[in-house]
Structure 1
């Protein structure tokens, strides 16, 4: 199954001690309680089962053995082995989170042997603007965004983290944007979380015509999960359905069935279950099956949302392939699908839809 990972991040380049490694096995921002381990999770078990052999170890080795082998090989070799074992043709990388700490695009390409394209994070572009006035914010952001998207495959908003998906669906007016920019500047340009400015960034992304990604569903505790239900985007989806821009709902779990409905109802909406497939581990077939219920098959994509650990890029690809094969294989054996249809849908979901939507 050819895969294009339409949403992921880079990997760390420094050696990791146990605490650092475990911090990247969870969406929590806190360590496990004393005497407990993040390895005691579906994801932790999957690392020991499926990543250990890539590093030359037996499956299910103890965490200490796995981490010792990781240190012995060194970060560069670990990254090379695991990224290449993923067998992904193209990585679309969101480089806007913790830039400078992870492999950049060319480094990811060299380590993985795959093509790497950038997804531009809208909030990151705004926060990186040089000195700007309130009245000049919109123009400065437009110019910076034009430079940033040259050669990029798409844009992304993390409004789910900064405010919630229940934002006003219509674009703000020019004076409204200038007033909001003034408030942000007077506060010393902190993390951009003003709902007016966030809407302005999103609509600027719409105007560029590139696929527009939204974080949806679970993530770290910085977000309010109750405000990350994709159904809250319904007004925005109505406002954009004739704008010739594809809206990509990322992750979606535990709202992946709601997201499937939106992909069913709106021609420009696409979904994936990235991030969740890694974290649910042995239960991945159930989540993948649910993602194939309502969403038309030309609206479902593969992503890993891997961040930091090359293990997550490898496991995302492996778990998705295994889950898709298990789910569709059962349907073929039951006579519900033909084998040729299962193969064709696998080609669409794995890579074909991404090629079409992102114009790769």
Structure 2
């Protein structure tokens, strides 16, 4: 159900299946209340004593919009909602909520793989959709660092493993924002500096990679692979969990790197972006190879998400925006991501129609582009 009245062609475009171009697996196991609550926040700690993570925009949204999918009345109390979830079981809950999202293809970041999470193929089966893999660069580097013996082996193995994994994927992704920030030196590091840094890395390979030289080497190795295979390169930007220094996750900090990739032609996709979505819109407007979404921002701002969508659309070219849910852990985040994407875009399109700025044909075409067409083109689906 869309929140505003729209011409039939626009309504149909908004209700058409979406390509979720960035998501993660959801849990296959039964969850306690404490486990569930930690999966509906980007924080990493329980709510303060006497409070609950249901008392958040996303918590209220779950009670409003996910409860009916589980045969409950809207605004069901948290205890009633979780009891119904347990009664149905994780498999049925996942199937209902993923199907309700109306996704035609899931592009799954497999960097958080664990036995408790559905695989990319399982996400597709549960949601009645196609599924493909997005390869997380830092996971590949971790695997290589734990098996390489000398720096030259590290460098060769990294390039080989990235190429092998890319052959089975539709895109690559970096979380360099978490590891050293987006204000990194955009230049490709010298071979000598990489060898020296790799030797330091191999002395303690189980540590999380934070060395700026090796992160830059990883990015440029990925650029080479992406150029050869025609793949886009995703970057987490903006809002995320507490590991992030938010002020260093502004995508505008990547301008030098983005500029250096323009002649190479590798598409750069800025994920989530909030609260820097206006900066991201600017980058997409001025660089031909840059694309954006507002991803998890829609789920976590929930009832306020229409403003975020409208602000992004102040400047972003319509052929440069995509949809992602960034769902993780619980299928509620997929359903809400899709719902608030459709609701936010519907309100924005209604405003443009009322102002006479766009006609119904324009609105339907824009909804198709953002919902699925742009992702199909960029990821070559």
Same fold (TM over 0.5): yes
Report the Cα distance in structure 1 between the residues aligned to 2:282 and 2:194, rounded to whole angstroms: 33
Q: CA deviation at 1:191?
A: 0.8
Relative contact order higher in (CA < 8 Å, ≥ 6 apart): 2
Task: Name the SS of the counterpart of 1:312 in structure 2.
Answer: helix
Please give the secondary structure, in 2, of the residue aligned with 1:21: helix
Return the alpha-carbon distance in structure 2 between the equivalents of residues 146 and 106 of structure 1: 21
State the TM-score, normalized to the length of structure 2.
Answer: 0.93
Task: Provide the rounded CA distance (Å) in 1 between the counterparts of 2:297 and 2:290.
Answer: 19
After superposition, the CA RMSD in angstroms is 0.9
Counterparts of 1:292-303 in structure 2, within 5 Å, are 292-303=313-324
- Please point out which of 150, 174, 180 is paired with 2:167: 150
The answer to which of 76-85 and 130-139 deviates more is: 130-139
Give the match's secondary structure for 1:248: strand
Deviates more, 1:268-277 or 1:129-138: 129-138
What residue number does 2:183 align with?
A: 166
Query: CA offset at residue 232 of structure 1?
Result: 0.5
- The match for 1:330 among 347, 351, 354 is 351
The match for 2:137 is 122
Distance 1:197 1:16 in 2: 38
Q: How does 1:2-81 map to 2 (within 5 A)?
A: 2-81=17-96
Runs of 4+ in 1 over 2 A off after TM superposition: 98-101
In the alignment, the residues of structure 2 paired with residue 271 and residue 331 of structure 1 have an alpha-carbon distance, to the nearest angstrom, of: 21
Separation of aligned partners in 1, 2:96 and 2:54: 21
**How far does the alpha carbon of each residue in 1:21-80 deviate from its partner, in whole angstroms, 9 at most, with x for none?**
010111111111000011001100110000000001000000000000000000000000
Residue 7 (structure 2) aligns with: none
Quick one: structure 1 residues 177 and 99, their matched pair in 2 at CA, closer, same or farther if it must change by over 3 Å? farther
Q: Is the counterpart of residue 102 in structure 1 residue 102 in structure 2?
A: no
2: CA distance, partners of 1:223 / 1:99: 22
Taking the aligned partners of 2:307 and 2:100, their CA distance within structure 1 comes to: 24
Unaligned runs of 5+ in 2: 1-13
From 287, 305, 309, give the equivalent of 1:266.
287
Structure 1 counterpart of 2:238, from 208, 217, 224: 217
Of 199, 223, 230 in structure 2, the residue corresponding to residue 182 of structure 1 is: 199
Tell me the CA shift for residue 174 of structure 1: 1.5
Per-residue CA deviations over 1:255-286 (Å, capped at 9, x if unaligned) read: 00000000011110000000000001111110
- Residue from 240, 244, 250 that aligns with 2:261: 240
Aligned with residue 345 of structure 1, among 366, 371, 376: 366
* 2:5 matched residue in structure 1: none
CA drift of 1:140 comes to 0.5
Aligned residues: 360
* TM-score, normalization by structure 1: 0.98
Give 1:199's aligned residue: 216
Conserved? CA contact 2:18–2:103, under 8 Å: yes
Structure 2 residue aligned with 1:131: 147
Instruction: Name the structure 2 match of 1:354.
Output: 375
Query: For 2:147, what is the secondary structure of its paired residue?
Result: coil
For 1:285-324, list aligned pairs within 5 A. Answer: 285-324=306-345
Deviation at 1:290, TM superposition (A): 0.7
